A and B are shown apart, each in its own frame.
Chain A
């Protein structure tokens, strides 16, 4: 979290004198509401963590089967693909952008690598690299359109969502590629690892690794701090000498790279490369980020929250299914959670202003 940069001075409040004195002064004057919002502001992952814990207890009470390690590991499997895509989505939303073309890029990368390897006998490592390269290139295209043409990310990715989806369908002719037709490495992400009775696919480990690596980069590198700065206030970032365009371009490109890796994980999960896979991933990834407490206005949020957000959606799907409740209640509750999450975000911004 880079909350060290001072907030932009408001018009009506004079700049505080000395920092420490000001802080003590602020502490004495804090109302309980302000204390709550301060905690929420400093630790965006707290609210999704609360939701996750409460829903865990409720669903386990409704059906003890829910609390078992086996069910928990299955939920992790089910949300793995959306959670991986949401890593890229988080980076973009932190810069106050949004990416509607997430799933389309993943499907494009998946079909390109799968079909190439099946048709032209591309060896496994190369096929995987092709998928990652296609994802990276698609992300870079989004980034170039946002930075060079200065178009709003929402519009850019709305357009590329259609373009990439159509390209994937035209290239593949709508045909899926079966696991047997691809090199073994392409379906390696579906391999099962036996952890003392728990059977987990290698793809899930890759997703966890992705969170660890990107989480570290966000917290510990200059690039991560710049990314938060750009999301907080692009103009201030420019004034302190950060190249905003370069940061944005790198963010969209790295997001594309993450989607390319996810395409590989998706093949393992589905057991085939199918144009019908991950159909709703575009919006599901945004849902995970928002429920995870990352602000759509940029500059505030944490990657851990996104993982919790993806898990919450999985909890509701499996939990309600085990409780024998109609699936539409899941759709309804997730919708409410999104609205609540954005309301909390607005409230924090209001108290800070």
Chain B
């Protein structure tokens, strides 16, 4: 049922896409604005157009496009996992005669379309989410999500000072397997010093055992869909299983806000460590307000800018970018944002985090 629910929303995205084109509201940074000869065209295809992360990415690409005289067209799936709309957008980019595509792939279903684009001579860069296999695209610019998870895991470990960790894991989905989901979740547990068994599988860990410094118990792995109301429902269910939860891992900051609401309602928000990943401006503010203890900040504007610049450079006969040493993607960096720094762990405070935040 859920999946059919998701499918019927592809129609909506088609309409959104069409109205974007009609109104130019989604900003094909047209030839009029940028002055130069717009001979280089780039299409940015995001997972959806409702997540501030991707909205920021679109804005970053448009700004970079204006600066470099590149014509940017944007398209988006209706939601995470919507492959069909992305495939259509790739085909449009080929038809338009663009030089390159920047895509945050919604799943393996878009791989054949990407290969088709590359056969036609387009340079394809994945942003934020490496495709599987990674060499489907020319290069990926992304956050090291596993490392982002590790940072908040290490921070949590140092805050606990050896006391027992009763953990709630608020993931993205429980019906789809997505790399961002398991990288962050497993990275967090690895940072805590918990054996994750299969690094590509959430929830297969021993429910109880010891982390670096004390005993742990994992109460739940609940899906949030990365939204506030999902985070709240997930946390309510976890608290029903065990009201003594003192560590809450969340896939992103909206889910963390929802989780905090559930804790407040239970009257047990004090003394609970909530950690998250994203570093959006709202999220950094939540850290400042004490709702979230620490978050790993990523840099979507950087991904978009680098992507546009790389395609422009290649179109002008330059060299293609190389992946970061030891990884199969180009790491655009991640930093821990917290006002309670931990010994021996690099972090920035919320003031600095606010300067660098997105959304």
Which residues of chain A have a CB within 8 Å of any CB of chain B?
65, 70-71, 74, 77-78, 81, 158, 161-163, 165-166, 169-170, 173-176, 178, 180, 190, 192, 199, 201, 266, 269-272, 274-280, 282-283, 287, 317-318, 321-322, 327-328, 331, 334-335
Contact = CB atoms under 8 A, between A and B. Distances in A.
Given A78-B236, A199-B266, A161 B228 contact: no
A285 to B, nearest CB: 12
B123 to A, nearest CB: 27
Contacts of A331: 1-2, 175
Contacts of B254: 176, 272, 274, 276
Interface of B is mostly: helix
12 contacts: A162-B12, A165-B12, A169-B16, A169-B49, A176-B282, A199-B265, A270-B227, A271-B232, A271-B258, A272-B254, A276-B227, A321-B237
A270 B49 contact: no
A260 B51 CA distance: 23
B15 A162 contact: yes
B257 A272 contact: yes
B240 A170 contact: no
Nearest to A314: B233
Most buried by B among A163, A165, A276, A331: A276
Most buried by B among A166, A278, A331, A334: A166
Contacts of A162: 11-12, 15-16
Most buried by B among A170, A176, A327: A176
A165 B258 CA distance: 22
B340 interface: no
A283 B229 CA distance: 17
Interface of A is mostly: helix
Nearest to A328: B175
B201 to A, nearest CB: 14
Given A176-B52, A274-B254, A279 B12 contact: no
A335 B3 CA distance: 12
Contacts of A81: 229
Contacts of A180: 285, 289
Most buried by A among B49, B220, B233: B233
A287 B2 CA distance: 12
Nearest to B80: A276
A322 B229 contact: no
A176 B50 CA distance: 9
Contact of A174 (B50, B175, B267, B289): B50
Given A176-B52, A271-B228, A165 B16 contact: yes
Contacts of B226: 276
B53 to A, nearest CB: 9
